[in-house]
Amino acid sequence: MFIFDAHLDLSLNALEYNRNLRRPLNELRERESGMNDLPGRGRGTVSFPEMRKAGIGLCVATQIGGCMQPAGPVASWASPEQAWAMTQGQLAWYRAMEQCGELRAIRTAIDLAQHLADWEAHPDTAPIGYLLSLEGADSLRTVADLDTAYQYGLRALGPAHYGIGRYALGHDQSGPLSAAGKNLLRKMDRLGLILDVTHLCEETFWNVLDFYEGPVWASHHNCRARVDDPRQLSDEQIHALAQRSAVIGLALDAWMVVPGWIRGTSTPQSTGATLEEAAHHIDHICQLLGTAQHVGIGTDLDGGFGTEQCPMEVDSIADVPRILDILRSRGYSEIAIEGVAHRNFIDLLRKVLP
């Protein structure tokens, strides 16, 4: 089945992890054998061939270059100018992948329709479609950079990542939306960008929903009712997103799937992190809302981790379709499963893309 993945850090892996995503996954792992400079070395799950095996014909692919505090091991720079330069390098990589036929940029509703028709007719040879999103707004030197970004194809933006950002606070912080954040949202509204609420701290989340009038989604989020952490969505937040016609993408980062994860100590095996547990998060949203129309897939695979922090059945992104089999075994209709796999996010894009 055709799958839409709402969150993949492809350019981060290409440029900061130095992975040639055109190559077979086993080759990428062998090349990193013995390396320990970054999390997930030698345990990556994503390459273009593996995405094709999964049926992922369309994804949201990120630019990411923060300068938040405290800094993280990747995507963290000392100034907005450096962060902006990183995102422009990432853009150049996406363009190079378009030129060699691996990727196709989706900027308009017409692009989307043509891509879906091409993929249906030629699934083995059509490029993988991608919609460009910015994870964390720190790299925007001023909100005027959004005009440039929109022109080169940016269609979604999450104002925060981790820590204290220049425009918004990450989920590990606490506080209201700043004046700079309000200016950012005003500009996003004028451009018609999709607001990604992922990573916002809770107070800012509610401020943003009150302030922003444009389209909204949560690209990679799970449920706080199952894993009690501020990074997760509460039932109240899930209801609020549904009222805004948003879609929530299921993340496969193991600590978001099962409770009690201890970084650097826990393993998928020791915590029972399975795709069955991941599917419980989909169940929770569907039961809470009485519909499957507001949930999709946003794996975040290779988002700063590898198989050491995935559900235990996930050796590569090609294993993602197993989630759909689990939903079938639980009695979900094919219409609902198609919605989770791709249609819910695609229907939203059809409504909001220029």
From 30, 130, 136, select the one nearest 76 (Cα to Cα): 136
Q: How many domains does the chain contain in total?
A: 1
Position 303 scores a pLDDT of: 96
Query: Is the Cβ–Cβ distance between 244 and 209 less than 8 Å?
Result: yes
Q: How far apart are CA 139 and CA 86, in angstroms?
A: 8
- Residues (pLDDT < 70) of the chain are none
Q: Which domain holds residue 299?
A: 3-352
User: What's the CA gap between 154 and 172, in Å, rounded?
Assistant: 26
pLDDT of residue 69: 86
Alpha carbon distance 149, 140 (integer Å): 9
Distance between CA atoms of 337 and 319, rounded to whole angstroms? 16
Rounded CA gap, 180 and 166, in Å?
A: 8
**What are the φ and ψ backbone dihedral angles of 7, each rounded to 5 degrees?**
-160, 110
CATH number at residue 26: 3.20.20.140
Q: Given this model, what pLDDT does residue 120 score?
A: 95
If you compute the radius of gyration of the chain from its CA atoms, what whole number of angstroms results?
19
pLDDT at 156: 98
Length of the chain in terms of residues written: 354
Q: Give yes or no for a contact between 60 and 133, defined as CB atoms under 8 angstroms apart.
A: yes
3-state secondary structure 2-28: CEEEEEECHHHHHHCCCCCCCCCHHHH
- The rounded distance, in Å, linking the Cα atoms of 97 and 104 is 8
Q: Per-residue b/e over 148-183, b at no fewer than 16 CB within 10 Å?
A: ebbeebbbbbbbbbbbebbbbbbbbbeeebbebbbe
pLDDT at 99: 98
Q: What is the pLDDT of residue 71?
A: 85
Whole-number pLDDT of residue 263 = 87
How far apart (Å, rounded) are the C-alpha atoms in residues 297 and 42? Answer: 24
